[in-house]
């Protein structure tokens, strides 16, 4: 369904009081063309202008004394055209003008003959839009005037009754709201205001009552996020209401709303420091250039403009740093929001240098700051001025001390001061800054945020791990951080160094592993060489001649061995062997003899197809398929080990502590020997001496 078709549904049939005969065909033709244009192109100011011209011509035609409106067709066209005029204004966000259009087309009259008709669509839109804009009294008066009249009986019964029911409910809720305010039951006041806002979201009286209750209450029901404090919740709700009062079309304008919203924007209570402050003040002063509240805030804003612009940039930067999101973040966008080293130096200078403190030039300047309870001469720096301004404003509008200490503004101000010194490489000065340390709010704010580490704490911890080469600790810390924080310079740069160090460590580990592998390979080669040296070139001849079994030479390659094996297996297939023996007239072989042949062929292929087994078979006569061969080889290895042991002791024969002549008294032994003689044969030395 297209927009125009949808709108035509609103043209609910109407009732004509009487009928006459005559019409304006030329005007009707033009009206059809405009309707088609609206249907094709949609709502626009040009269409509105075209309908304005048609309405003027239709009304002139209807008021002409010599014109007869046959069947009230012109009267009907006027009502329908006004309805479409209102719908277009509604689409173009011109709600006040749309409300006026719908009001004017509820009843369309012909003054010449006192005929009229009622437009149900106009009546319905007038009621809903009127309540939304806060025109409860006007809507109620209009509906009350129609009660028990001929007109009310011509309105669609359901539409009429629904309108009366909504008005009755709205009136009851307004009375309950007044009762809650008188009883200082602020939570009930907020609940009732929320219900009223569903019907009349732009009713300025309801919104201002809700603001009053928000400033007084200490509870906000169930909070969605336990990490959000009352200050931020209250500020968010106030901001939403004040934006409606300042930016939406409301019945009555109150410039105090502009001042409060401007102050909240100035201190970043609504999100970003000073983002809309100038626009709000400009609109306020446009309405009344002499309004004190807007003039005072405007002076404060001008005096601190340079510093507040930097704080605004930091606020945007912090919206990435502390977003705690693991979603994909645009790295270039984060880089664009980061301040340069020069910017951070300027932040330090503007906050703490006494010569950068704002200058008071006249009584008007002094009065502007006094509005917030500041004695500007008693403060030494812009840092102190900002804190006292914020506290003064917050107390004026009703924030509690505990809420102020838990506010994002104070937390961010101390946090950005800390980061500014760290960013310019002068963190030691931060730790000695008496303006910060002696602030009566410093320790109180820190205590309320002690569980949450800032980016400086994290960056310093990471640098400490890298300095001590604690790579596992560094990795664990980096893995715990959200992607948004890892893209910031304070984390990004040490993370790059971490990756370089880890790559170097991995390369070193790989080199060490390669060296260990090379050493192991060298050791294995030495062992293998020693084993080969220990083996005799030919300790014994193998029983089985595998080359002969396969019918190949000792120089046969792997392919030749495989080919010979397949051929032998084919030749020695039981069926083929029997056929061949029968053909030759030879004696048949038993099943066991045939299996023995096949086993020998398999054993031959097993040894000769394996390079290592073949080498041992050729060089040393080793045959793992021959049990006797294996037994002889094991005996030979044991003999070799014993010989190696004896060689390690220095010789093949040893006589220690031997004197074979002890039984012959008086025999003193051979010259040069005694009872403790040590005789060695086969060693490097043989001899003894009397001790």
Flag whether 661 is in a domain.
Answer: yes
Ordered DSSP codes for 495-543: HHHHHHHHHHHHHHHHHHHHHHHHHHHHHHHHHHHHHHHHS-S-SS--S
120, with CB counted inside 10 A (0-12, 13-18, 19+), is buried
Among 26-40, 258-272, 623-637, name the most confident range: 26-40
Contact 182, 219 (CB under 8 A): no
User: In angstroms, rounded to a whole number, what is the distance separating the alpha carbons of residues 577 and 584?
Assistant: 11
The answer to whether residues 677 and 561 belong to one domain is no
Domain ends where: 139, 155, 171? 155
Q: List the alpha helices (DSSP H) in 304-381.
A: 305-321, 331-337, 341-352, 363-370
Sign of CA dihedral 146, 148, 151, 153: positive
| pLDDT of amino acid 325 | 67
C-alpha distances (whole Å) from 189 to each of 186, 208, 317, 685 are 5, 11, 38, 115
Task: State yes or no: pLDDT of 686 exceeds 50.
Answer: no
The answer to whether residues 584 and 666 belong to one domain is no
Flag whether 558 is in a domain.
Answer: yes
| pLDDT of amino acid 9 | 43
User: In angstroms, rounded to a whole number, what is the distance separating the alpha carbons of residues 572 and 166?
Assistant: 107
Contacts 24+ apart (CB under 8 A), 234-243: 234/399, 234/403, 235/264, 235/269, 235/270, 235/407, 236/270, 238/211, 238/214, 238/264, 239/264, 239/269, 239/270, 241/207, 241/210, 241/211, 241/214, 242/211
358, with CB counted inside 10 A (0-12, 13-18, 19+), is buried
User: In angstroms, rounded to a whole number, what is the distance separating the alpha carbons of residues 138 and 127?
Assistant: 10
Sign of CA dihedral 431, 435, 438, 444: negative
- Tell me, what CATH number does 52's domain have? 1.25.40
The answer to whether residues 592 and 628 belong to one domain is yes
- Tell me, what CATH number does 610's domain have? 1.10.287.110
Extract the tokens encoding 201.
């979201």
Q: For residue range 229-256, what is the model confidence (pLDDT) as tens digits?
A: 677 788 888 989 999 999 877 788 999 9
Minimum mean pLDDT range among 65-74, 102-111, 324-333, 392-401: 324-333
- Quick one: which of 313, 325, 271 has its CA closest to 484? 325
With residue 403 as reference, give the H or E element that holds it. Answer: helix 401-405
Task: State yes or no: pLDDT of 106 exceeds 70.
Answer: yes
The answer to whether residues 559 and 629 belong to one domain is yes
User: In angstroms, rounded to a whole number, what is the distance separating the alpha carbons of residues 105 and 507?
Assistant: 84
Residues whose CB is less than 8 angstroms from the CB of residue 471 and which lie 6 or more positions away in sequence, other chains included: 465, 498, 501, 502, 505
Q: ∠ at Cα 663 (662, 666), nearest 5°?
A: 75
Task: State yes or no: pLDDT of 333 exceeds 70.
Answer: yes
Integer distance in angstroms from the first to the last C-alpha of the chain?
127
C-alpha distances (whole Å) from 472 to each of 149, 462, 476, 486 are 85, 11, 6, 17
Flag whether 585 is in a domain.
Answer: yes
The answer to whether residues 111 and 143 belong to one domain is yes
- The pLDDT of 278-298, averaged and rounded, is 94
The answer to whether residues 622 and 560 belong to one domain is yes
**How far is CA 331 from its chain centroid?**
13
User: In angstroms, rounded to a whole number, what is the distance separating the alpha carbons of residues 377 and 240?
Assistant: 36
The answer to whether residues 9 and 128 belong to one domain is yes
* 378 or 399, which is more confident: 378
Extract the tokens encoding 26.
């030329």
- The torsion angle over the Cα atoms of residues 531, 533, 536 and 537, rounded to 10 degrees, is 120
The answer to whether residues 86 and 40 belong to one domain is yes
Flag whether 597 is in a domain.
Answer: yes
- The torsion angle over the Cα atoms of residues 611, 613, 615 and 617, rounded to 10 degrees, is -150
Domain ends where: 140, 155, 170? 155
Task: State yes or no: pLDDT of 407 exceeds 60.
Answer: yes
Query: What pTM does this model have?
Result: 0.61
| pLDDT of amino acid 674 | 43
User: In angstroms, rounded to a whole number, what is the distance separating the alpha carbons of residues 476 and 461?
Assistant: 12
- The torsion angle over the Cα atoms of residues 38, 41, 42 and 43, rounded to 10 degrees, is -80
The answer to whether residues 550 and 671 belong to one domain is no
C-beta neighbour count of 186 within 10 angstroms: 18
- The pLDDT of 458-482, averaged and rounded, is 92
Residue 664 sits in which domain range? Answer: 650-681
Q: How confident is the model at residue 536 (pLDDT cuts 50, 70, 90)?
A: low
- Number of domains making up the chain: 3
User: In angstroms, rounded to a whole number, what is the distance separating the alpha carbons of residues 419 and 281?
Assistant: 31
- Quick one: which of 253, 259, 318 has its CA closest to 287? 253
Q: How confident is the model at residue 31 (pLDDT cuts 50, 70, 90)?
A: very high
- The pLDDT of 630-655, averaged and rounded, is 57
Domain ends where: 155, 178, 193? 155
Q: List the alpha helices (DSSP H) in 425-480.
A: 427-432, 434-437, 442-448, 455-467, 471-480
User: In angstroms, rounded to a whole number, what is the distance separating the alpha carbons of residues 585 and 602?
Assistant: 27
Flag whether 477 is in a domain.
Answer: no
Q: ∠ at Cα 93 (90, 99), nearest 5°?
A: 45
**How far is CA 380 from its chain centroid?**
41
Contact 43, 88 (CB under 8 A): yes
Flag whether 556 is in a domain.
Answer: yes
**How far is CA 118 from its chain centroid?**
56
Task: State yes or no: pLDDT of 226 exceeds 90.
Answer: no
Q: For residue range 493-504, what is the model confidence (pLDDT) as tens digits?
A: 999 999 998 888
The answer to whether residues 598 and 672 belong to one domain is no
Minimum mean pLDDT range among 87-91, 127-131, 135-139, 503-507: 503-507
| pLDDT of amino acid 669 | 42
Flag whether 506 is in a domain.
Answer: no
The answer to whether residues 622 and 654 belong to one domain is no
| pLDDT of amino acid 529 | 66
Flag whether 395 is in a domain.
Answer: no
The answer to whether residues 49 and 117 belong to one domain is yes
Torsions phi, psi for 239 (to 5 deg): -60, -45
C-beta neighbour count of 451 within 10 angstroms: 6
């Amino acid at each position: 369904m297209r927009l125009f078709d949808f709108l035509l549904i609103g043209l609910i049939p109407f009732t004509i009081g009487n009928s006459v005969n005559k019409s304006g065909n030329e005007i009707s033709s033009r009206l059809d063309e405009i309707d088609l244009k609206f249907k094709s192109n949609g709502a626009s100011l040009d269409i509105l202008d075209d309908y304005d011209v048609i309405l003027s011509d239709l009304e002139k035609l209807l008021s002409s004394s010599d014109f007869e409106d046959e069947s009230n067709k012109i009267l009907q066209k006027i009502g329908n055209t006004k309805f479409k005029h209102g719908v277009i204004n509604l689409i173009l966000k011109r709600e006040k003008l749309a409300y006026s259009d719908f009001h004017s087309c509820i009843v369309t009259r012909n003054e010449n003959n006192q005929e009229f008709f009622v437009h149900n669509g106009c009546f319905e839109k007038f009621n809903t839009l009127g309540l939304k804009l806060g025109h409860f009294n006007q809507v109620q008066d209009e509906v009350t005037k129609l009660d028990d009249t001929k007109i009310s009986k011509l309105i669609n019964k359901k539409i009429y009754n629904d309108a009366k029911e909504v008005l009755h409910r709205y009136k009851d809720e307004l009375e309950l709201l007044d009762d809650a305010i008188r009883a200082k039951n602020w939570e009930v006041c907020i609940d009732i205001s929320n219900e009223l806002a569903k019907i009349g979201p732009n009713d300025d009286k309801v919104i201002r009552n809700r603001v009053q209750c928000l400033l007084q209450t200490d509870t906000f029901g169930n909070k969605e996020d336990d990490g959000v404090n009352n200050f931020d919740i209250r500020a968010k709700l106030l901001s939403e209401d004040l934006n409606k009062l300042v930016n939406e079309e409301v019945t009555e304008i109150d410039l105090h709303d502009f001042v409060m919203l401007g102050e909240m924007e100035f201190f970043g209570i609504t999100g970003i420091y000073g983002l809309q402050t100038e626009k709000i003040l400009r609109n306020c002063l446009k309405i009344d250039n002499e309004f004190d509240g807007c003039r005072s805030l405007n002076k404060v804003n001008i005096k601190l403009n340079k510093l507040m612009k930097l704080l605004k940039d930091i606020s945007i930067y912090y919206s990435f740093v502390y977003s705690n999101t693991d979603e994909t973040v645009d790295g270039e966008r984060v880089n664009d929001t980061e301040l340069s080293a020069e910017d951070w130096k300027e932040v330090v200078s503007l906050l703490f240098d006494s010569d950068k403190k704002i200058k008071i030039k006249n009584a008007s300047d002094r009065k502007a700051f006094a509005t917030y309870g500041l004695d500007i001469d008693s403060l030494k720096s812009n840092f102190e001025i900002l804190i006292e301004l914020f506290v003064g404003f917050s107390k004026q509008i009703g924030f509690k001390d505990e809420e102020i200490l838990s506010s994002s503004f104070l937390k961010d101000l101390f946090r950005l001061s800390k980061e500014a010194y760290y960013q310019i490489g002068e963190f030691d000065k931060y730790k000695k800054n008496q303006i910060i340390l002696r602030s009566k709010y410093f320790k109180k704010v820190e205590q309320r945020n002690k569980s949450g580490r800032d980016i400086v704490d994290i960056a310093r911890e990471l640098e400490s791990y890298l300095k001590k080469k604690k790579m596992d600790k560094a990795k664990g810390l980096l893995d715990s951080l959200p992607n948004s924080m890892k893209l910031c310079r304070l984390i990004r740069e040490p993370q790059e160094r971490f990756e370089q160090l880890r790559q170097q460590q991995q390369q070193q580990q790989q080199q060490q592993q390669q060296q260990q592998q090379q050493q192991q390979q060298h050791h294995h080669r030495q062992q293998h060489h020693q084993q080969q040296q220990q083996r005799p070139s030919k300790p014994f001849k193998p029983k089985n001649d595998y080359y002969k079994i396969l019918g190949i030479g000792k120089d046969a390659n792997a392919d030749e061995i495989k080919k010979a094996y397949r051929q032998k297996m084919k030749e020695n297939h039981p069926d083929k062997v029997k056929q061949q023996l029968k053909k030759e007239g030879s004696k048949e072989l038993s099943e066991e003899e045939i299996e023995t042949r096949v086993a020998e062929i398999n054993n031959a292929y097993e040894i000769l197809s394996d390079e290592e087994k073949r080498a041992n078979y050729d060089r040393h006569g080793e045959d793992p398929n021959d049990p006797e061969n294996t037994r002889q080889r094991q005996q030979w290895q044991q003999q070799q080990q014993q010989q190696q042991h004896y060689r390690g002791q220095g010789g093949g024969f040893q006589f220690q502590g031997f004197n074979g002549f002890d039984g012959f008294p008086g025999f003193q032994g051979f010259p040069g020997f005694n009872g403790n003689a040590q005789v060695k044969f086969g060693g490097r030395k043989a001899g003894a001496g009397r001790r």
